[in-house]
């Protein structure tokens, strides 16, 4: 068996706050293997985001004390502070929560993508990097990519910006994607599109994913394993399906019970997803007949 | 049949933009019976919050009527509106931004009482204490400021403030969206309990179908300023007729109903539907993101009038 992409052993994070030192992460251990998605789920303040930010060493050194071990492709990011700088944007890439503020508002999408691409491939010329940017945007299903590259972040919707950020993460050819609430700021149907894209990328590239979410539905859909986090610790860890069907810990049971049920509906598209596309096109054409090409009218 | 507490007919609300006016609400009609809850669901830019803001007259309707207990609120001047204002109150989405950080809970809850006037200081204090207990907080909470409360507690204070005016209709605009699921469940319970005890009527604006099912008897689904589908909530959720309602229903990821390891079809269908729409719009030469309502392709399509 090959070694996991990420192996975390007894990670602890202490945060220095005005009110004193808070142990935000209190000894968590987990692994993420190639092609796997492992999710940390919890409510506000559970320490799930702090865990992710600590692994990426994105917490300020003077305010966060990290201990334990976290091997990312063999490099211990806890002891090797410099090592992680070489990994970020290469071995590991972050997909942030809020796509609206993650990009520089005064630079075009193209310029920022070219910059990201050339971190990984400094040998590429700007023109070659721009060509690569176009193919990356196609890969994340953005229509008319040349035009989008000339746009500024505010000219794109939240869903589209998240696709751009995912494209930048792919450009890093990362072994591990850390997605911190990647769809929490998006509408539900837009969220579905982004989650579908992430699953598709994993199928084609075998990238490992560490997902942070508060949403049990998202966790269930995306994950191989789920760790339920509360007050800095894992209260329960299990296979995703098993965790939802047979939760053992009372806190997990309580979280599941708090998700409002929607009742029965036999969704025809679950058996035939392509039917949904045809139905959407038909519904749009019915309200906007001018969109149907002349020939087929 | 009794007359509804609120009857909205052919409501149109337009906002001015540099490129002419944008129609956020485009001919919407619905009614809410006294003591009932009507949910308005939809995604960003569908016009649901505009409806909420128009009902409390933070916006003026462009045309149509909003008859509240026999009076068309849309046509009233500010002065004529004043005696009605207290009867419709709003609970906002953001428990952090909607309370003045300088005031104590006591001052926040008592403010509507003072504004209406005619009450002694002692009565105001007693009423504030009564209200804070009614939303499930201890009396001692009155002395504290918003920063000392959690999100759920703040939302309770916001509800107490709304109740202080003794409203008939509470407009809840994504009132539980910013809360953790367990806290959300508690706030929904509180709202249901207050409705039972006081016969309050709710207009519940939300993007979350699960929340809507927990609280609303009737639901309207909106997209691009128009009602796509409406009916009893259970019927809308168990037998959604319109393609968009089905998509919204499918997008609500309920963990318990998913089958298999990484159940792909759930999101595949939604992604394919969106892609099909975007391709159709691109072929029609319409940029789906050039206009307002950025995540709603239909909003940007040329609307035949």
In a domain, A19, yes or no: yes
Q: How far is residue A147's CA from residue A144's CA, in Å, rounded to a whole number?
A: 6
- Provide, as residue numbers in chain A, all residues whose Cβ is less than 8 Å from the Cβ of B286: 291
Q: Does A275 touch chain B (CB under 8 A)?
A: yes
Best of B152, B253, B265, B286 to disrupt the A interface (most A CBs within 10 Å) is B253
Stretch 1-40 of chain A: residues touching chain B, C-beta under 8 Å: 37
Q: How many CB pairs under 8 A join A and B?
A: 212
Residues A79 and A184 in one domain: yes
In 3D space, the residue among B187, B171, B206, B207 whose CA is nearest the CA of residue B91 turns out to be B171
Best of A277, A282, A286, A296 to disrupt the B interface (most B CBs within 10 Å) is A277
Total number of domains constituting chain B: 1
pLDDT at A57: 92
What is the dihedral sign for C-alpha A142, A143, A146, A149?
negative
How do residues B145-185 score in pLDDT, each as one tens digit? 999 998 889 999 999 999 999 999 999 999 988 888 888 98
In 3D space, the residue among B29, B109, B97, B94 whose CA is nearest the CA of residue B63 turns out to be B29
In a domain, B250, yes or no: no
pLDDT at B1: 56
In 3D space, the residue among B67, B91, B73 whose CA is nearest the CA of residue B163 turns out to be B91
Buried residues in A214-246 as b, exposed as e (16+ CB within 10 A): bbbbbbbbbbbbbbbbbebbbbbbbebbebbee
Q: Label the pairing between strands A208-213 and A6-17.
A: unpaired
Q: CATH number of the domain that B202 lies in?
A: 3.40.50.300
Q: Rounded to two decimals, what is the model's pTM? A: 0.88
Range(s) of the domain holding residue B36: 6-87+167-240
Residues A216 and A274 in one domain: yes
Cross-chain residue pair B253–A218, CB shorter than 8 Å: yes
- Rounded to whole angstroms, what are the CA distances from B153 to B127, B146, B180, B182? 19, 9, 12, 13
- Provide, as residue numbers in chain B, all residues whose Cβ is less than 8 Å from the Cβ of A223: 262
Q: Average pLDDT of A222-236?
A: 97
How do residues B174-230 score in pLDDT, each as one tens digit? 998 888 888 898 899 999 999 999 999 999 999 999 999 999 999 999 999 999 999
Total number of domains constituting chain A: 2
What mean pLDDT is reported for chain A?
91
Q: Nearest by CB to A189, from B43, B260, B263: name it.
A: B43
- Provide, as residue numbers in chain B, all residues whose Cβ is less than 8 Å from the Cβ of A160: 289
- Helices B105-116 & B151-164, crossing angle to 10 degrees? 20
Say which residue, B283 or B24, is predicted with more confidence: B24
Q: Average pLDDT of A201-230?
A: 96
- Provide, as residue numbers in chain B, all residues whose Cβ is less than 8 Å from the Cβ of A281: 276-277, 280
Cross-chain residue pair B301–A261, CB shorter than 8 Å: no
Residues A17 and A63 in one domain: yes
Cross-chain residue pair B273–A199, CB shorter than 8 Å: no
What pLDDT band is residue A220 in, cutting at 50, 70 and 90? Answer: very high
Residues A191 and A234 in one domain: yes
Q: Does B283 touch chain A (CB under 8 A)?
A: yes
In 3D space, the residue among B277, B301, B283 whose CA is nearest the CA of residue A144 turns out to be B283
Residues A44 and A190 in one domain: yes
Q: Does A296 touch chain B (CB under 8 A)?
A: no
Q: Does B292 touch chain A (CB under 8 A)?
A: no
Cross-chain residue pair B253–A220, CB shorter than 8 Å: yes
In a domain, A294, yes or no: no
- Provide, as residue numbers in chain A, all residues whose Cβ is less than 8 Å from the Cβ of B295: 157-159, 186-187, 190
Cross-chain residue pair A221–B254, CB shorter than 8 Å: no
In a domain, B302, yes or no: no
In a domain, A190, yes or no: yes
For residue B185 the two structure tokens come to 């469940």
Residues A85 and A119 in one domain: no
**ipTM score of the complex?**
0.86
φ, ψ (nearest 5 deg) of residue A290: -65, -15
Q: CATH number of the domain that A49 lies in?
A: 3.40.50.300
**Residues 6+ away with beta carbon under 8 Å from B92:** B98, B158, B173, B175
- Provide, as residue numbers in chain B, all residues whose Cβ is less than 8 Å from the Cβ of A291: 280-281, 283-284, 286, 301
Q: Does A281 touch chain B (CB under 8 A)?
A: yes
Q: Nearest by CB to B238, from A37, A141, A263: name it.
A: A263
How do residues B235-275 score in pLDDT, each as one tens digit? 999 999 999 999 999 999 989 888 888 888 889 999 999 88
Q: Does A265 touch chain B (CB under 8 A)?
A: yes
What pLDDT band is residue B303 in, cutting at 50, 70 and 90? Answer: very low
Stretch 153-192 of chain B: residues touching chain A, C-beta under 8 Å: 180-182, 184-185
- Boundary (domain end) residue, out of A173, A205, A226: A173
In a domain, A198, yes or no: yes
In a domain, B28, yes or no: yes
Q: Does A100 touch chain B (CB under 8 A)?
A: no
Residues A60 and A86 in one domain: yes
């Amino acid at each position: 068996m090959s070694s996991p992409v990420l192996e975390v052993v007894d990670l602890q994070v202490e945060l220095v706050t005005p009110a004193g030192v808070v142990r935000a992460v209190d000894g968590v251990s987990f692994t993420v293997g190639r092609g796997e998605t492992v999710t940390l789920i919890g409510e506000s303040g559970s320490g799930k985001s702090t865990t992710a930010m600590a692994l990426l060493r994105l917490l300020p050194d003077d305010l966060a004390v990290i201990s334990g071990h976290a091997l990312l492709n063999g490099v211990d990011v806890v002891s090797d502070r410099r090592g992680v700088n070489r990994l970020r944007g290469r071995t590991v890439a972050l997909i942030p929560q809020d796509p609206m503020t993650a990009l520089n508002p005064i630079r075009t999408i193209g310029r920022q993508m070219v910059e990201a691409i050339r971190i990984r491939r400094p040998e590429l010329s700007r023109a070659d990097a721009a060509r690569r940017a176009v193919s990356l945007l196609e890969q994340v299903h953005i229509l008319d990519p040349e035009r989008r590259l000339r746009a500024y972040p505010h000219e794109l919707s939240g869903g589209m910006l998240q696709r751009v950020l995912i494209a930048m993460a792919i450009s890093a050819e990362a072994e591990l994607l850390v997605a911190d609430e990647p769809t929490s700021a998006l509408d539900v149907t837009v969220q579905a599109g982004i989650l579908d894209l992430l699953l598709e990328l994993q199928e084609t590239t075998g990238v490992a994913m560490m997902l942070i979410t508060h949403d049990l539905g998202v966790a269930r859909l995306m994950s191989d394993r789920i760790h339920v986090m509360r007050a800095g610790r894992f209260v329960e860890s299990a296979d995703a399906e098993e965790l939802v069907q047979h939760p053992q810990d009372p806190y997990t049971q309580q979280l599941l019970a708090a998700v409002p049920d929607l009742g029965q509906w036999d969704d025809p598209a679950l058996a035939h997803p392509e039917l949904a596309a045809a139905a959407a096109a038909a519904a749009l054409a019915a309200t906007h007949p001018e969109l149907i090409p002349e020939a087929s009218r | 049949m009794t007359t509804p507490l609120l009857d909205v007919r052919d409501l149109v609300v337009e906002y001015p933009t540099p490129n002419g006016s944008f129609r956020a609400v485009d001919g919407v009609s619905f009614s809410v019976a006294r003591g009932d809850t009507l949910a308005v669901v939809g995604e960003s830019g569908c016009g649901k919050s505009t409806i909420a803001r128009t009902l409390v007259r933070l916006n003026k309707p462009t045309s149509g009527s909003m008859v509240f207990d026999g009076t068309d609120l849309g046509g009233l001047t500010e002065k004529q509106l004043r005696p009605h204002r207290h009867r419709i109150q709003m609970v906002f989405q953001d428990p952090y931004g909607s309370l003045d950080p300088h005031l104590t809970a006591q001052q926040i809850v008592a403010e509507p009482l003072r504004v209406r006037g005619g009450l002694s200081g002692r009565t105001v204090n007693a009423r504030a204490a009564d209200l804070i207990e009614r939303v499930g907080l201890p009396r001692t909470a009155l002395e504290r400021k918003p920063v000392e409360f959690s999100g759920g507690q703040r939302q309770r204070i916001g509800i107490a403030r709304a109740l202080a005016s003794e409203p008939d209709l509470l407009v809840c605009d994504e009132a539980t969206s910013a809360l953790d699921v367990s806290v959300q469940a508690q706030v929904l319970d509180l709202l249901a309990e207050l409705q039972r005890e006081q016969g309050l009527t709710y207009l519940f604006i939300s993007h979350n179908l699960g929340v809507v099912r927990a609280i609303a008897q009737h639901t309207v689904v909106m997209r691009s300023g128009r009602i796509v589908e409406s009916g009893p909530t259970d019927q809308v959720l168990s037998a959604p007729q319109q393609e968009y309602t089905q998509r919204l229903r499918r997008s609500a990821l309920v963990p318990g109903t998913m089958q298999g390891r990484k159940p792909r079809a759930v999101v595949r269908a939604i992604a394919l539907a969106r892609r099909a729409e975007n391709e159709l719009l691109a072929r029609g030469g319409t940029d789906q993101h050039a206009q307002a309502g950025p995540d709603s392709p239909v909003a940007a399509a040329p609307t035949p009038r």
